Structure 1
């Protein structure tokens, strides 16, 4: 299967999940808006969800996949099964003890980590603690699910692991639909959602366990022991988790600061949901697929092929994310208004969320580049260097967030995260180049410059086009008419961007063919991969 086809498999499944996520957030906006219960739910959910994103979206794979693949190669299925059971025994025991401790300490965790700003509001604080207690076992479910996902990815079964998050959105949409049908209060709605999160976690774990059994491996429980393989896994996993979760770590910091302003956490969440669509479809797909592909090429000594994989992946992510960033900057108001502005979601809230989304859009290419750059380190079993870079960017994010939030509120948080994301991507890229792990291509640099030009042309065209459709995008228009107008804008932007990109040489049919059909063996001979 070609590299881009693998990207498409994971990206397509992720796209389905993110579309359902939009439906979920639309119902959420109608039911709760940016009121106190929305703040309480999102604050309580952020903590276990942070770990879900740290593990389930590639960081755990960075440590587990190479070791699991090695066991398959050296010991066959029996060796891989033994290694999996060793990891499962330790992981389950540690997670069980962690969950018990966190449940007992939840009031302190909410007060010091999740939402310090809620301490002054006794009701909001108490609700957040109770919701977090219900949802925290979701962390245990998703961490074990991450291990199962790593096994499936190593066995080249990408779809099952990618489609699992769909179940979370389906369950939560059901909970919201029931709440709206019953006319439930915001507090009852938050309770329905919290229990829905726990049910979804159990369901996802069950589906992936069935997938692993179908792939030919049955996992039993072993007494937890710190074997050499388990120690090696833990040694690699911690820095990989920190590195892979830079965006989520920065968002948690932003939430802590935003908790001092009513409605700020919910506003950040609504903006996050929109820009997570291109980030998830492109970034996660590249991160999941690129690591095993790059590790295989490097292990076989095919350095020219490895360079080709890296450059083509960067070409692919920028080809798709630069126009997404331009569109989010220009039509963020229209997007937020059409998706969210109804029920408890007011025009003032639209303005706040749209401004936040526009800034997140500027950071989008940086966030996705991180997903494409990290495998260059992980495939070489170097998880410490990107962790050091990540910690530096976290410090920068903290300083900027604290400085900008009093002045620009939610937009200040988004600015801090965007700057931090671009700093991380730049430092990762420079480090790989200086070490000789990323051979520079002049052709790639020229293509990126031309893609930027195509994006600017698209953005200007989109600005004028949105003015022509302003009446159809107004809240007074029927919802279907608003959706049709927004779809027309997006379609117009795509036609302009792709036309200009191909016309000026930012993309060509040769680039598409190279990405759609990659040679099975390493390229031998002179010259860089073009």
Structure 2
């Protein structure tokens, strides 16, 4: 990677307006305007889903706090997530889209739907068989996945695991159905999957998981199963049908496309699911933490960290991937390199300030979201510290998702497989080391360090694969963004101190604030931080700021 030497910064390159870029990108994998529109919608949908997910967690924390039942509910997903990691539904999507898209590009829709039907049948039968086996051996599997839990706790976890295991079939089949829609550049119905899922869990948790019914966390578990059926299966079947898709029960495991699909999917499992692997490894080690609530604190903090990651990064990665795949299928490496470069710079520009804001405002954020019912101020302080260490890796997690999809668009899974496997081994070692020094905080820090290592390694690998991505431009942009976010941190911390002292002059503790007072603090801090950050980007002439301004101006003129 070309790193600028001191005093020799690269000349800034002016990004094209929407109109200019659209004329160029129409020939290289899609309209920039189409990408932008899809991106805006996916960000909105992801934000809605994440907010509903937070409502779900708020209901969970209110009813179970950060204790035994919260641990049991979170642990119930360990075995199902093991299946997810073994045959990642994310891997299915990343491999399916390029193969399916290649037939659409050739105009061979009949062959595309044949591949869809064959893959769906084979995967459905395979996953169903695995689920039956895991249901039979659910107790020993649960004991291994939650090694540090006592026997009585393992049995309670296993009872909930039996409920949520079948949901994995919906996720895997739904992943293929969603991939078909992505290949057609359709994002609306797929975006509704997680919204329906979170709504259903929350509704079931409120109705069946309250103390009156006596079901406890089982109410949330039944909600998870029902939400998966409705959002990931039934709704997505309707979405594919709208495209004219048709399914036939084809069982042809000798088909060359299926063989290619399997060969590509096996190595990709070790990389596309790495964030999920990291969380499950965190959970495994958390079973050795003293007392109850260790796993719950990690889960609550991780859910908050996932907010900006899901809204800003994952939504963008989902949108750009079909365009990456189209550019790669056409063999237009220049367009692909431009797209990856631009996407990384945009993601870094958005996620670095989000990371800094969440670090400075960690305690008031946790107070506003979780502190009610059985979730007490002491739980807030514990979770806030864990959140700080998780947030260090937000930008890195965002970048690695884009970089990984660059490989998948090229149908190259061997390189990220090796990189992801090595990082996972390092991550396990970090967990074993840092849990002894920092307990739950050490597990969160291990996750961030692994994310940074993975992002850097993938960048060098992808740059070598495509022949350079103007790395100096990315590094220089990152340095500017980091400086702007660092300057922003001071005023945000000042706002936190002033508002806390105003509302609570005695203890001056954010955990003593009311929910409304905490909301005022968080919004005021975010507003001041956003203004300072925007000002710094303008002052430093960060290209991404100018690109956003030009795109907004162009849209206003057309309106």
TM-score by length of 1: 0.92
2:39 touches 2:319 (CA, 8 Å); kept in 1? yes
- Which runs of 5 or more structure 2 residues have no equivalent in the other structure? 1-32, 504-508, 555-559
Residue 220 of structure 2 is aligned to residue 193 of structure 1: yes
User: What residue in structure 1 maps to residue 297 of structure 2?
Assistant: 267
Alignment partner of 1:454: what SS? helix
* Structure 1 range deviating more: 456-465 or 302-311: 302-311
Q: For residue 449 of structure 1, report the CA deviation from its aligned partner.
A: 1.2
Alignment partner of 2:523: what SS? helix
User: What residue in structure 1 maps to residue 229 of structure 2?
Assistant: 202
Give the distance between the partners of 1:73 and 1:436, measured in 2 at CA: 22
User: What residue in structure 2 maps to residue 488 of structure 1?
Assistant: 524
Residue 254 of structure 2 is aligned to residue 254 of structure 1: no
Give the distance between the partners of 2:86 and 2:536, measured in 1 at CA: 37
Residue 148 of structure 2 is aligned to residue 117 of structure 1: yes
Q: Of 172, 176, 187, which residue of structure 2 is paired with 1:147?
A: 176
Give the distance between the partners of 1:511 and 1:380, measured in 2 at CA: 27
Residue 249 of structure 2 is aligned to residue 217 of structure 1: no
Give the distance between the partners of 1:460 and 1:133, measured in 2 at CA: 49
Residue 194 of structure 2 is aligned to residue 165 of structure 1: yes
Q: What CA deviation, in whole Å up to 9, does each residue of 1:224-259 have, x standing for no partner?
A: 534211111111112222211111111111111101
Alignment partner of 2:488: what SS? helix
Q: 1:487 to 1:474 in 2, by over 3 A?
A: same
Alignment partner of 1:208: what SS? helix
Give the distance between the partners of 1:198 and 1:300, measured in 2 at CA: 40
1:353-364 equivalent positions in 2, closer than 5 A: 353-364=383-394
Residue 53 of structure 2 is aligned to residue 15 of structure 1: no
Alignment partner of 1:470: what SS? helix
Q: For residue 47 of structure 1, report the CA deviation from its aligned partner.
A: 3.6
Q: Of 114, 122, 126, which residue of structure 2 is paired with 1:90?
A: 122
1:280-299 equivalent positions in 2, closer than 5 A: 280-299=310-329
Give the distance between the partners of 1:9 and 1:52, measured in 2 at CA: 27
Aligned residues: 513
* Structure 1 range deviating more: 275-284 or 56-65: 56-65
1:58 touches 1:284 (CA, 8 Å); kept in 2? no
Give the distance between the partners of 2:111 and 2:295, measured in 1 at CA: 46
Q: For residue 517 of structure 1, report the CA deviation from its aligned partner.
A: 11
Give the distance between the partners of 1:436 and 1:517, measured in 2 at CA: 34
* Structure 1 range deviating more: 44-53 or 383-392: 44-53
1:14 touches 1:163 (CA, 8 Å); kept in 2? no
Give the distance between the partners of 1:434 and 1:508, measured in 2 at CA: 25
Alignment partner of 1:69: what SS? helix
Give the distance between the partners of 2:400 and 2:440, measured in 1 at CA: 23
Give the distance between the partners of 1:498 and 1:49, measured in 2 at CA: 40
User: What residue in structure 2 maps to residue 36 of structure 1?
Assistant: 68
Q: For residue 162 of structure 1, report the CA deviation from its aligned partner.
A: 1.9
Q: 1:47 to 1:33 in 2, by over 3 A?
A: same
Give the distance between the partners of 1:2 and 1:438, measured in 2 at CA: 26
2:431 touches 2:443 (CA, 8 Å); kept in 1? yes
User: What residue in structure 2 maps to residue 72 of structure 1?
Assistant: 104
* Structure 1 range deviating more: 479-488 or 163-172: 479-488
Q: For residue 390 of structure 1, report the CA deviation from its aligned partner.
A: 0.6
Residue 94 of structure 2 is aligned to residue 59 of structure 1: no
1:135 touches 1:198 (CA, 8 Å); kept in 2? yes
Q: For residue 77 of structure 1, report the CA deviation from its aligned partner.
A: 2.7
2:267 touches 2:417 (CA, 8 Å); kept in 1? yes
User: What residue in structure 1 maps to residue 470 of structure 2?
Assistant: 440
Give the distance between the partners of 2:329 and 2:105, measured in 1 at CA: 12
Give the distance between the partners of 1:323 and 1:417, measured in 2 at CA: 19
User: What residue in structure 2 maps to residue 409 of structure 1?
Assistant: 439
2:209 touches 2:219 (CA, 8 Å); kept in 1? no
Q: For residue 269 of structure 1, report the CA deviation from its aligned partner.
A: 0.5
User: What residue in structure 1 maps to residue 206 of structure 2?
Assistant: 177
* Structure 1 range deviating more: 428-437 or 247-256: 428-437
Q: What CA deviation, in whole Å up to 9, does each residue of 1:22-74 have, x standing for no partner?
A: 11111111100121111111011244356668988743221000111122234
2:97 touches 2:325 (CA, 8 Å); kept in 1? no
Give the distance between the partners of 1:366 and 1:515, measured in 2 at CA: 26
1:148 touches 1:212 (CA, 8 Å); kept in 2? yes
